[in-house]
Amino acid sequence: MASQTKDLEKLVQQEYKWGWETLVEADTIPPGLNEDVIRVISVKKNEPQWMLEWRLKAYRYWQTIKEPTWANVHYGPIDYQAIAYYSAPRSNQDRPQSLEEVDPEILRTYEKLGIPLREQEQLAGVAVDAVFDSVSVATTFKKKLEEMGIIFCSFSEAVQEHPELVQKWLGSVVPYTDNFFATLNAAVFSDGSFVYIPKGVRCPMELSTYFRINAQNTGQFERTLIVADEGSYVSYLEGCTAPMRDTNQLHAAVVELVALDSAQIRYATVQNWYPGDKEGKGGIYNFVTKRGKCQGKNSKISWTQVETGSAITWKYPGCILQGDNSVGEFYSVALTNNYQQADTGTKMIHIGKNTRSTIISKGISAGHGQNSYRGKVQVLKSARGARNFSQCDSLLIGDKCGAHTFPYLEVRNPTAQVEHEATTSKIGEDQLFYCQQRGIPKEDAITMIINGFCKQVLAELPMEFAVEAQKLLGVSLEGSVG
Amino acid sequence: MATTATRHDLFLSHFARQRPQFPGGGQAWLDRLRQEAIERFAEAGFPTTRLENWKFTNVLPLTRTAFQPAAPKLDGLTREKLGRLPLGRLDAARLVFVNGRFAAELSSFEGLPKGARVGSLAAALEEGNARLEEHLGRYAAYQPPDRAFVALNTAFLNDGAFLEIPQGALLEKPIHLVFVSVSEAQPVFSQPRNLILVGAGAQVALLETYLGLGDGPYFTNAVTEIVAAENTIVDHYKFQLESEDAFHVATLQARQARDARFTSHNVSLGGRLVRNDVNVVLDGEGSESALNGLFVARGRQHVDNHTLADHAKPHCTSHELYQGVLDGSAAGVFNGAIIVRANAQKTDAIQHNKNLLLSEGATINTKPQLEIFADDVRCTHGATVGQLDPDALFYLRSRGLPYPAARNLLIRGFAQTILERMKVEALRVELEELLFARLSGSQRFGEGR
Amino acid sequence: MLTIKNLHARAEGKGILRGVDLEIRKGEVHALMGPNGSGKSTLAQVLAGRDVYEVSQGEVLYDGRNLLEMTPEERAHAGLFMAFQYPVEIPGVSNLYFLRSALNSLRKARGQPELDAMDFLHIAKQKAREFGLDESLLKRSVNQGFSGGEKKRNEVYQMAVLEPRLAILDETDSGLDIDALKIVANGVNALRHPDRAILLITHYQRVLNYVTPDYVHVLYNGRIARSGDKNLALHLEEQGYAWVEGQAPERPQVAGS
């Protein structure tokens, strides 16, 4: 229609900038899944018996269950036998002990992504665990954190070095029986990050994991576990990208968070997996289970996510509010453009007294994008004085996209206070013209409108990443507003 | 069910008996209107909880009572006594209806603009006013089965207010319609019917108050139709202050033309079983409705508010806020429907319902109902159910306020948003007093004044 | 200041403006009236640069420049302001931030230094007091959740802050109660200035009781069918637009020429 719509659309159509591939020799096991494959993974990782048994239990259970179909997303059948379940850069076979031993190609990859891993170039105040395909290749600032008793390492390392902690908390929030994808992850997960913050310690820097899928036809199944002991605090951020390929790749991660008495965890995700091309070809299937347990009194977990990538996103970071007065928060911006689909939201389960939860969800749909918010607020009988506030806003750009809201509310305690707000609006010519008539140039107007819409969520991100996220939203939308 | 059927028959036989005395009989359109309405009522019967719109309101206690038509009498009501009733001294033109009949001797018409027609509907029906045929019964639908009370009122079309505000008139004082039910030995019913036509560009504030002076149950079934022409400003207040033995069912139906702004303030404090329907049709581009509601119930009171904002044209706005305070074993219902018709692009609809439950026994059923057929709209809805904040209560008490005063202060704070929206200052001040008296436990409105 | 010659415009293939001629000079206030669908709002939108309308004939000169070739923001930079009939909501963007961005865009385009937040806040608050805008509206998102009256007042307020040379008010008086109407009218009167022109588009005569126009035009069927002074508006009020229908001249008169 009008040229303004075209401009909006153009803005949305910008190319994916992270789509190159790194040529490194990889040690990839052939596609297919059976108990032997799981044993191979476990052997490669030199795992103790209990770890292998847990994997096998998960695998056996997985064979008895079916892929869920309730989400408002559509995709062809996934052939789980055609996926390779393990891929690692060959140079990583004996995990490098220092950055000097890391394959320079991989270091360059992270530099190109804006995540320098070399000590002198590291991002000030951010410790990074870099995960390349199935394994962690480097972790920065480890020593400094160790001095405070903070453990920040790859999951594989944690299994070797801190088996008692892993054994105690693994699966305590997301059991291996949780759901189809989480169960698959439990069977085949390769690596991920592990964090433990001891009692009373406030982690002095942002911890961050940067995930990169590189190899073709592999699935990525990482697993992250963060335990914040009594009175501790940690802020954690994950980022992710992948090369452009015209086949779909599966990413089925699990994140478990545990907050003990008065502990606080902030977990932020800037998800920018390859979304597929303009025709909807290729892209990552991002089927992720993330859950936090506010186990202790006065504990707090907040999830912030900016989801701009992936062909399909299926993700519901939730909080189990078990401790009295505990707080769960969910702040989300999900953007779907072209043929992207997102079914995302949260689950807040109020168990303890005076537990509180806040849900702010902002969905932006452009092109043929389909964006669903699916949220569940459950107030159990025991949750006297529980409070929830939910706000779900949808922004439509163009008239071929869709926004859907599925709020579920289950209140079993009469003293609960539950509030829900929802809006759906269309950005477009009207808003742009209004800004332009007041003298504001079109590009500035678009940025202003999108940022205004996402403001509440971006404010929850650590400063450096908020700026990144803003740019990312702008880029992902390029070509769609006009 | 047998009982319901009987009372339904009872009203049919009242209709048959009263019909010859209805004003304006013999005019074909009017006879036909009454006839169609009674037929619809006969078919539908009183609504049951099987109807979606009556799911949470059981009218059995009403239909079990053997109501008789209220007699046209004043029962010793004088201007002086009237002045002591709530809002009896409000500076306004005042039309008083006792047991549903116009009482000219108690009414006054100060401050009305030239060309305004303000008076009894019965009189207008008798004289065969042509405007009635054009408008009466054209807006408040009585056909659907869940509109049986509107059908009943339409069948019994008798008296109420007929107001015609001329084009461009700016009314400085509100028009106050007072509906008083006086005591009878047995349960009685009255069915006021109001038609209000507001000419283009006119600005007017209207107040309906409903009160009961007797003991024992009675039943008021009121219907008000408002037609707001282009660019009109209409502020409508309805204060339902019936006795706690009363049954009160009322429908307010407004139609707005281009650029018309209509505000409804619907306040329910009294009644044993209360059902309010507030329906607006935004039938002209640029029209705007504000629907405000406040209901306070205690004991075994049941208050049901149903609202409907029907967006029929583009660029219309409806902003709605209903607040409920429920104590004792009182039950509240809020159902807010918003319809956005296919061509009603750029609709801006906001709906909020906030409730305060003061006791474990009080209940609220709240339901937003959005039906959107246009794609470029902004619709927001929200509902809250909460209790008094114990921290705030403790804070006030620690400052020396006794518990009841602290509690009342917080409730008043809760209701403040609605009160603030009332532009007629005198009206708001008096309502605040009524609210306070109510919260302090007074049984009947207007006592001890 | 503004010269409209034989302006034709259409939307979705339908002709709406069919030869509008209008001359507005500095210091003048013109009222443009007309029934629904006569093209009043289209004219305003075309002048502001809304591209859903296609100009098929005619020209518009603004200070000697070809207005139709300018982008909407260039027109704004050149001092043209339109108060929207239906002001647009921008969620999450505060009124204050929006208006500062707008004012600084204008200043930048005119080679003036941009205002910092504090200086701007000072101006914004002062204008809010002068133009009867509730200060709490400044912090809220642009027009979001505003009542109709608040939106209209916000338009006049923005106009006051941006100090345009040519202000076009598109039905800013519709749906206002008498108090709000007076506030809006006062705002318009306060902006009257020998260097500034105002085009007041209205559907109703009442606003002209408070703003006295120098000229009144009636748009009918996409043309200016009548022009006159304020008495024309009174006449219209009495006779209704049907009167114009019977009187429409073959060649529209050019006002003020």
A87-89/B93-98 β-pairing: unpaired
pLDDT above 50 (res A34) = yes
- pLDDT the model gives residue A138: 65
Chain C hits for A3, Cβ within 8 Å: 51
- pLDDT the model gives residue A124: 52
Q: Nearest to residue C141, comparing CAs of A437, A429, A452, B315?
A: A452
pLDDT interval class at B388 (50, 70, 90): confident
Residue B448 within any structural domain of the chain? yes
Structural domains of chain C, ranges and CATH numbers in brackets: 2-87+157-247 (3.40.50.300)
Please state, for a pLDDT cut of 70, what percent of chain B lies above it: 96
Instruction: Specify the higher pLDDT residue, B153 or A3.
Output: B153
What does the buried/exposed string (b/e) look like for B327-344 if buried means 16 or more CB atoms within 10 Å of the residue's CB?
bebbbbbbbbbbbbbeeb
| Cα-Cα end-to-end distance for chain C | 13
In A, minimum Cα distance to B358 occurs at A415
**DSSP bridge pairs for A84:** A218
Mean pLDDT across chain B, nearest whole number?
91
Mean pLDDT of A266-275: 83
B261 and B409 together in one domain = no
The mean-pLDDT minimum among A69-73, B90-94, B428-432, C163-167 falls in A69-73
Q: Nearest to residue A224, comparing CAs of A262, A252, A261?
A: A252
What are the residues whose beta carbons fall under 8 Å from the beta carbon of B376, sequence distance 6 or more? A426, B345, B346
Chain C hits for A430, Cβ within 8 Å: 88
Residue B51 within any structural domain of the chain? yes
Last residue of a domain, which of B250, B284, B318? B284
Mean pLDDT of B428-445: 77
Closest CA of chain C from A234, distance in Å = 29
Cross-chain Cβ contact A439/C73 below 8 Å: yes
**What is the value of pTM for the model shown?**
0.75
Dihedral pair phi/psi, residue C228, rounded to 5°: -175, -160
Domain positions in chain A are: 3-477
A151-154/A193-197 β-pairing: antiparallel
- Upper half-sphere CA count for residue B247 (Cβ side, 13 Å): 21
C209 CB near a chain B CB, below 8 Å? Answer: no
The torsion of the CA quartet B96, B101, B104, B109, rounded to 10 degrees, works out to 40
Closest CA of chain C from B231, distance in Å = 5
Amino acid at B269: L
Last residue of a domain, which of B284, B312, B338? B284
B273 and B418 together in one domain = no
From C76, C89, C141, residue closest to A437, measured CB to CB: C76
Residue B346 within any structural domain of the chain? no
SS3 call for A251? strand
How many independent structural domains does chain B possess?
Answer: 2
pLDDT interval class at C214 (50, 70, 90): very high
Chain C hits for B258, Cβ within 8 Å: 36, 174
C71 CB near a chain A CB, below 8 Å? Answer: yes
Q: Are A480 and A10 contacting, i.e. CB atoms less than 8 angstroms apart? A: yes
Burial class (CB in 10 A: 0-12, 13-18, 19+), B324: buried
CA-to-CA distance for A326 and C216, rounded, in angstroms? Answer: 66
Cross-chain Cβ contact C158/A444 below 8 Å: no
- Which ipTM score applies to this complex? 0.84
The mean-pLDDT minimum among A337-351, A467-481, B182-196 falls in A467-481
Q: Nearest to residue B283, comparing CAs of B254, B252, B317, B255?
A: B255
What are the residues whose beta carbons fall under 8 Å from the beta carbon of A464, sequence distance 6 or more? A123, A126
Q: Are B173 and B92 contacting, i.e. CB atoms less than 8 angstroms apart? A: yes
What are the residues whose beta carbons fall under 8 Å from the beta carbon of C26, sequence distance 6 or more? C1, C194, C195, C196, C197
From C145, C175, C178, residue closest to B170, measured CB to CB: C178
CA-to-CA distance for B112 and B97, rounded, in angstroms? Answer: 19
Residue B328 within any structural domain of the chain? no
Question: Subunits with at least 3 CB pairs below 8 A relative to chain A?
Answer: B, C
Residue with tokens 């742009």: A432
Mean pLDDT across chain A, nearest whole number?
81
Domain span holding position B436: 394-449
Dihedral pair phi/psi, residue A106, rounded to 5°: -70, -40
- pLDDT the model gives residue A204: 84
A11 CB near a chain C CB, below 8 Å? Answer: no
C85 CB near a chain B CB, below 8 Å? Answer: yes
Closest CA of chain B from C234, distance in Å = 13
From B376, B381, B383, residue closest to A426, measured CB to CB: B376
CA-to-CA distance for A254 and C148, rounded, in angstroms? Answer: 49
Residue B261 within any structural domain of the chain? yes
C90-94/C141-142 β-pairing: antiparallel
Q: Are B230 and B255 contacting, i.e. CB atoms less than 8 angstroms apart? A: no
Closest CA of chain C from A3, distance in Å = 8
A449, containing H or E segment: helix A442-458
Dihedral pair phi/psi, residue B161, rounded to 5°: -100, 140
From C48, C73, C141, residue closest to A440, measured CB to CB: C73
- pLDDT the model gives residue A5: 44
Last residue of a domain, which of B251, B284, B317? B284
Q: Nearest to residue A354, comparing CAs of B391, B362, B361?
A: B391
Could you tell me the two tokens for A38?
């799981």
pLDDT of A370-417, one tens digit each? 888 888 888 898 998 899 988 888 888 877 777 777 777 777 777 788
What are the residues whose beta carbons fall under 8 Å from the beta carbon of A37, sequence distance 6 or more? A29, A85, A86, A188
pLDDT of B342-353, one tens digit each? 889 889 999 999
Residue with tokens 């085009």: C199
C70 CB near a chain A CB, below 8 Å? Answer: no
Q: Are B341 and B315 contacting, i.e. CB atoms less than 8 angstroms apart? A: no
Q: Are B163 and B109 contacting, i.e. CB atoms less than 8 angstroms apart? A: no
B223 and B92 together in one domain = yes
B265 and B413 together in one domain = no
Chain B hits for C89, Cβ within 8 Å: 348, 378
- pLDDT the model gives residue B4: 47
pLDDT above 70 (res A118) = no
Residue B321 within any structural domain of the chain? no
Q: Are C222 and C198 contacting, i.e. CB atoms less than 8 angstroms apart? A: no
Mutual angle of helices A429-437 and A442-458, in 10-degree steps: 110
Amino acid at C244: V
- pLDDT the model gives residue B274: 98
C141-142/B68-69 β-pairing: unpaired
- pLDDT the model gives residue A480: 59
Amino acid at B235: D
Residue B93 within any structural domain of the chain? yes
Mean pLDDT of A111-117: 62
Dihedral pair phi/psi, residue A374, rounded to 5°: -130, 115
Closest CA of chain C from B155, distance in Å = 36
Provide the phi-psi class of B181: left if phi over 0, else alpha when psi is between -120 and 50, else beta.
beta
Residue B363 within any structural domain of the chain? no
SS3 call for A454? helix
**DSSP bridge pairs for B378:** B348
From A437, A448, A454, residue closest to C48, measured CB to CB: A437
pLDDT of C12-58, one tens digit each? 888 899 999 999 999 999 999 998 889 999 999 999 999 889 999 99
Q: Are B171 and B141 contacting, i.e. CB atoms less than 8 angstroms apart? A: no
Closest CA of chain A from C103, distance in Å = 8
Q: Nearest to residue A188, comparing CAs of A149, A138, A222?
A: A222
SS3 call for A155? helix
In C, minimum Cα distance to B205 occurs at C177
Q: Are B246 and B218 contacting, i.e. CB atoms less than 8 angstroms apart? A: yes
Q: Are B413 and B228 contacting, i.e. CB atoms less than 8 angstroms apart? A: no
pLDDT interval class at A13 (50, 70, 90): low
pLDDT interval class at A482 (50, 70, 90): very low
- When scoring B387, B388, B391, B393 by the number of chain A Cβ atoms within 10 A, the one with the most, hence best to mutate, is B387
- When scoring C142, C144, C177, C241 by the number of chain B Cβ atoms within 10 A, the one with the most, hence best to mutate, is C177
